[in-house]
């Protein structure tokens, strides 16, 4: 009995070492298919992610050095506090998260916590409903380019918006009994740290540096997950899971062709949704349902903690 306990402890200690070793070996074994996948991930990052997100990152960083956030907090506190149980400043993260899309809302929420504008509990509540897909991605990329239908894109965006509001209302009770404390001195210091002509260059440089750090982090995730998906597909792991889940899909009278795109979408949303949109199905609502599911689930769990 004692030997088995020691063995379990050793497995727990060496689990990640073994996992990373397997990943390294797989990179060598499946290098033929993995290299093109990494190149595609880099192209996606350079051609799509940087142009669409980097300017928004810089803009939000600059806005953090103005009085706009405190003014929004003053006017919208009576709206945000009873509905989402967060300070009025959270409306800025919510609005920018809707306009700019993922992960701008989450980045703003984390910046609030770093600058002590909100408490840890409020930041956790904010992350639950501010980390959303933007209209450019849902309506433009998913609706128009993938489904070839603007109405589907608009419907997906509306349901996505309603879902994030619902999640925010539900999470208002998260650690509601715990007293949220914010360092008033630090908060006032953050409010007073506004941009002016004397520190404009310093603030701009700081905003660009912070934005570059975030965009590089996203690029790293895109490349790594592109590589992982390639390995899982080539090694047949996705096929094994597809065989396991097939009876459940058959019981629900769903096309088993959706299984692999769903698994892929959990790791990398764009390719997953693109494959789902191209699956021929008697009821298009099934394709839309799975797409909406990926849009909500992926945004909540894949990156919120990473930022």
Residue pLDDT, tens place only, 90-144 = 888 888 888 877 777 888 888 888 888 888 888 888 888 888 887 877 888 788 8
pLDDT band at 307 (very low <50, low <70, confident <90, very high): very low
Q: How far lies 306's CA from each of 48, 121, 247, 293, in Å? A: 20, 17, 35, 21
Per the listing, tokens 């997953």 go with 272
pLDDT band at 302 (very low <50, low <70, confident <90, very high): very low
Q: How far is CA 216 from the centre of its chain?
A: 15
CA quadruple 101, 105, 106, 107: dihedral sign: positive
Choose the weakest-confidence range: 106-110, 155-159, 228-232, 295-299: 295-299
Rounded Cα distance between 85 and 79, Å, is: 9
Question: Which residue, among 151, 90, 78, 92, has the nearest Cα to 118 in the 3D structure?
Answer: 90
Rounded Cα distance between 238 and 267, Å, is: 12
Which residues are CB-contacts of 200 (< 8 A; sequence separation ≥ 6)? none
- SS3 of residue 279 by DSSP: coil
Residue 193 has what pLDDT? 63
Q: Token digits for 233?
A: 């597909």
């Amino acid at each position: 009995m004692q030997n088995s306990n020691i063995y379990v402890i050793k497995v727990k200690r060496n689990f990640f070492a073994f996992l990373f070793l397997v990943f390294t070996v797989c990179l060598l074994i499946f290098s033929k298919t993995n290299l093109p996948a990494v190149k595609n991930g880099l192209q996606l990052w350079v051609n799509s992610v940087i142009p669409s997100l980097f300017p928004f990152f810089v803009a939000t960083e600059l806005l953090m050095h103005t009085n706009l956030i405190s003014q929004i907090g003053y006017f919208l506190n009576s709206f945000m506090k009873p509905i989402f149980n967060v300070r009025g400043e959270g409306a800025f993260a919510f609005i920018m998260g809707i306009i700019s899309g993922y992960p701008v809302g989450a980045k703003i929420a984390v910046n609030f916590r770093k600058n002590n504008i909100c408490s840890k509990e409020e930041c956790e509540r904010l992350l639950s409903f501010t980390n959303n897909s933007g209209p450019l991605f849902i309506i433009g990329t998913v609706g128009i380019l993938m489904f070839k239908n603007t109405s589907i894109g608009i419907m997906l965006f509306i349901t996505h918006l309603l879902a994030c509001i619902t999640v925010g209302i539900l999470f208002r009770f998260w650690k509601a009994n715990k007293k949220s404390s914010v360092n008033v001195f630090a908060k006032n210091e953050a409010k007073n740290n506004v941009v002016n002509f004397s520190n404009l260059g310093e603030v701009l440089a700081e905003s660009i540096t912070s934005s570059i750090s975030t965009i590089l982090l996203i690029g790293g995730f895109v490349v790594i997950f592109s590589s992982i998906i390639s390995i899982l597909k080539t090694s047949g792991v996705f096929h094994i899971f597809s065989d396991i889940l097939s009876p459940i899909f058959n019981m629900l009278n769903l096309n088993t062709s959706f299984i692999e795109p769903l698994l892929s979408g959990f790791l990398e949303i764009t390719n997953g949704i693109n494959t789902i949109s191209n699956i021929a199905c008697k009821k298009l609502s099934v394709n839309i349902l799975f797409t909406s599911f990926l849009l909500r689930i992926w945004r909540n769990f894949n990156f919120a903690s990473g930022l």
